[in-house]
A and B are shown apart, each in its own frame.
Chain A
Amino acid sequence: MNTTLKTLSLSALAAAVMMACGKKEEAPKPTSQAAAPAEPQPVVVKIGHVGPLTGGIAHLGKDNENGVRLALEEANAAKLSIGGKPVKFELLAEDDQADPKVGNTVAQKLVDAKVVGVVGHLNSGTSIPASAIYHQAGIPMISGSATNPALTEQGFANVFRVVGRDDQQGPAVANYLLATVKPKTAAIIDDATAYGEGLANEVEKTLKAAGVKVLPREKGTDKTADWKAVLTKIKGKKPDVVFYGGMDATGGPLLKQARELKITATFAFGDGACTDKMAELAGEAAEGLVCSQAGIPVQAAGKAFLDAYKAKFGVDPILYAPFTYDAAKLLIAAMQKADSTEPAKYLPQLKAIQYEGASGRIEFDEKGDRKDAEMTIFTMSSGKITPVAIIKGGKSMTLEEYAQAAAK
């Protein structure tokens, strides 16, 4: 009885403290809102970005965020006015830890903060559940890196992506292999994640359709370091190509161990393992690796973007920054066209937009996917990944051809 009472009063106290906190936190809010309508001061327009800023792929999350940051700062420098009033864009950057549960919490945080648009999330696994929250709030979201087709198959009118889907990247790398290696037998491995499996499935589909014999799928996990048993099994089947859907941290050891076992097949990886890090992790074994990236290589991205990024952050963009940069610019361009920052008003403009971005020309199809997304094929030569082909609309061209076409 006594302890019950104590617990009760404790919880009541806790609740009271919480409410008190609530009031305290409320205080600063009205000031920012009160400041906004004042005549000379610009209207603050909040744009959210979500990606993992901690955990295994935090460096990619930061890269994405930087792209958005750059776009907003450029827009602020241009002193835009929308709806007759000067506007100032503000970035709310959140960390979803690549965890769907956390992704929903921070999505709600952004909705609470009344953002008018969201760039993100980075992973498909967090983007898909969070898109429902944005959908309910009527806020447009554009992902610059979520490649799982399911994201735009949900029928949400507010969901877009500017990066190519798995079912665009998979066929691209598979077709490149078909054209150059002409394999009879192929082995496919993935890391049993949504990304790795999704991409591997698309590669398998294309290879099978071309009459290649595909061995039963082998799998590891996103933490596997010991690939010997899987590779030994594959070695016995003597495939001509081996495709791995996974990240560089696992792809490096895989490639190294394969060469130790004297497997001579051509190895091909997806964009998660298409980094310079591969040369470090696999050593000499990485030479000749074929890999693909969804989108155009950073080198072929708009020169202006590259220079501005380097000047601002002191490093080169890693992977998806041109896409998130374009995504943020798209949101702003649509707002300008609609002459309103209200999501409901500028959404139709976003759907119909035609835009020349750092990652090329952008138009959305009826699902919200990018029309004719480009894919790039790289090979590893002397420790660097080097672009060898850009595939757009089923057509393969070299980097120079693409640059010429883009210049026109």
Chain B
Amino acid sequence: MDILLQQLINGLTTGSVYAIVALGYTMVYGVIQLINFAHGEIVMIGAMVAVSVILALTDTALPPAFILLTGVLAAMPVCMIIGLALERLAYRPLRKAPRLAPLITAIGMSIILQHVALMIWGRDPRAFPQLIENASLAVGGAAISTVQIAIIATSCVMMAGLSWFVYRTRFGIAMRATAENLAIAELMGIDTNRVIAATFAVGAALGAVAGVMVGAYYGVAHYTMGFILGLKAFSAAVLGGIGNLPGAMLGGLVLGLVEALGTGYIGELTDLCHWPFVAEALAERCHADGHVVLLGSNYQDVFAFLVLVLVLIFRPSGLLGERVAERA
């Protein structure tokens, strides 16, 4: 029971991170129907900037919480500038181009960002300094660390803030109008270019925070970390229904939980020694090893993709998505 609870906590934490990164994908997609493939690299750069700032400040007498906050506040503008530059240089000129063209520029930009990061920060993994004493709270036999609590809490605050921003402010209305129909929004007097740029900036700022969270949680930052994280988050966005904000949050959490529970339990479920008939055929090996596991944690990425494929087959536009992307 305590193990199950622990896995749920693990999944929830990872899921929160996925959700925040997924928001970056889904916001951009919602507004201009474009997969910003370079978003994962923005998250990576956020983590890297934060590591550098925090390392520079660790020896000072400043309080740890202040140092961490400085790291986040330094990472945010850097990421926002990169997000804006991406939009201006790689995406805006291609808004009317064939659909795959911006995908290729996105791939090109992520290669460039990755290697610029390599030049600045090197190829060794960077250790993320431990600022906050990582105490664990016991919850029904499971341990939840302060970092985990901080991540889940920050995610909730950010999601609430974003919802307020999108659904309650004038700018949010302009954003939703642009997403609904760019041409008509323009006719209504909305400066759509500004709205699109701002969407990139907000997504990048969320990415920066996510980068710091990932770095603090796992304790490392590396110039290649953005790719796999971006991939998972993008899957989460699609799972929830790309272009749909609550969908991205739900998708992230579902993906995180599926991974944790899959890793935790698939091995026992597919232990052939507990299966009828098969166990007898394998009696000799079962006796020698005590287990013949068909699928183990090595398939954890498979579970994530498999759930995604299954959901999409039965709900082709994701869990909460309504619109089917019309343009193929």
In the complex, chain B residues whose CB is within 8 Å of the CB of A277: 124-125
Q: Which of A55, A56, A232 contacts B3 (CB 8 A)?
A: A232
Among B244-252, B296-304, B314-322, the stretch that binds chain A is: B296-304
B contact patch SS: helix
- Residue B154 interfacial (CB < 8 Å): no
User: Are A252 and B7 touching (Cβ within 8 A)?
Assistant: no
Are A216 and B271 also in contact (CB < 8 A) when A233-B297, A281-B125 are?
yes
User: Are A55 and B296 touching (Cβ within 8 A)?
Assistant: no
- Residue A406 interfacial (CB < 8 Å): no
| CA distance in complex: A262, B6 (Å) | 12
Nearest CB to that of B10 among chain A residues? A228
User: Are B220 and A252 touching (Cβ within 8 A)?
Assistant: yes
- Residue B102 interfacial (CB < 8 Å): no
Q: Which of B134, B220, B259 contacts A253 (CB 8 A)?
A: B220
| CA distance in complex: A252, B290 (Å) | 30
Number of interface residues of B (CB under 8 A): 40
In the complex, chain B residues whose CB is within 8 Å of the CB of A55: 123
| CA distance in complex: A219, B225 (Å) | 18
In the complex, chain A residues whose CB is within 8 Å of the CB of B134: 260
Are A225 and B124 also in contact (CB < 8 A) when A219-B296, A230-B263, A261-B143 are?
no
Nearest CB to that of A227 among chain B residues? B218
User: Are A260 and B136 touching (Cβ within 8 A)?
Assistant: yes
CB distance from B9 to the nearest CB of A (A): 9
- Residue B219 interfacial (CB < 8 Å): yes
- Residue B293 interfacial (CB < 8 Å): yes
| CA distance in complex: A230, B298 (Å) | 10
- Residue A58 interfacial (CB < 8 Å): yes
- Residue A129 interfacial (CB < 8 Å): no
Nearest CB to that of A58 among chain B residues? B123
Per-residue interface assignment for chain A, residues 214 to 250, with 1 indicating a CB less than 8 Å from any chain B CB and 0 otherwise: 1111111101011011101101100000000000110
CB distance from B133 to the nearest CB of A (A): 12
User: Are B124 and A283 touching (Cβ within 8 A)?
Assistant: no
- Residue B289 interfacial (CB < 8 Å): yes
- Residue A367 interfacial (CB < 8 Å): no
User: Are A225 and B214 touching (Cβ within 8 A)?
Assistant: yes
Within 8 A of A (CB), among B236-280: 259-260, 263-264, 267, 271
Are A252 and B10 also in contact (CB < 8 A) when A214-B289, A232-B3 are?
no
Nearest CB to that of A236 among chain B residues? B3
Interface contact tally, CB-CB below 8 A: 102
CB distance from A186 to the nearest CB of B (A): 12
A contact patch SS: helix
| CA distance in complex: A216, B127 (Å) | 30
In the complex, chain A residues whose CB is within 8 Å of the CB of B297: 218-220, 229-230, 233
Within 8 A of A (CB), among B6-33: 6-7, 10-11, 13-14
Q: Which of A213, A214, A217, A226 contacts B14 (CB 8 A)?
A: A226
User: Are B298 and A225 touching (Cβ within 8 A)?
Assistant: no
Q: Which of A59, A215, A232, A282 contacts B264 (CB 8 A)?
A: A232
CB distance from B222 to the nearest CB of A (A): 6
- Residue B224 interfacial (CB < 8 Å): yes
- Residue A257 interfacial (CB < 8 Å): yes
Are A262 and B219 also in contact (CB < 8 A) when A229-B10, A233-B267, A280-B127 are?
no
User: Are A223 and B224 touching (Cβ within 8 A)?
Assistant: yes
User: Are A235 and B220 touching (Cβ within 8 A)?
Assistant: no
User: Are A229 and B7 touching (Cβ within 8 A)?
Assistant: yes
In the complex, chain B residues whose CB is within 8 Å of the CB of A281: 125, 127, 219-220
In the complex, chain B residues whose CB is within 8 Å of the CB of A220: 297
- Residue A371 interfacial (CB < 8 Å): no
User: Are B143 and A216 touching (Cβ within 8 A)?
Assistant: no
Nearest CB to that of B138 among chain A residues? A262
Q: Which of B3, B136, B289 contacts A233 (CB 8 A)?
A: B3
Name 15 extra pairs, CB < 8 A, besides A56-B224, A221-B301.
A208-B289, A213-B290, A215-B291, A216-B267, A218-B267, A225-B225, A229-B263, A229-B297, A229-B300, A232-B260, A249-B220, A253-B219, A257-B218, A260-B136, A281-B220
A-B contact pairs, 14 of them (CB 8 A): A58-B123, A192-B298, A214-B289, A215-B291, A221-B301, A225-B225, A226-B218, A228-B13, A228-B260, A232-B6, A233-B7, A257-B219, A262-B136, A281-B127
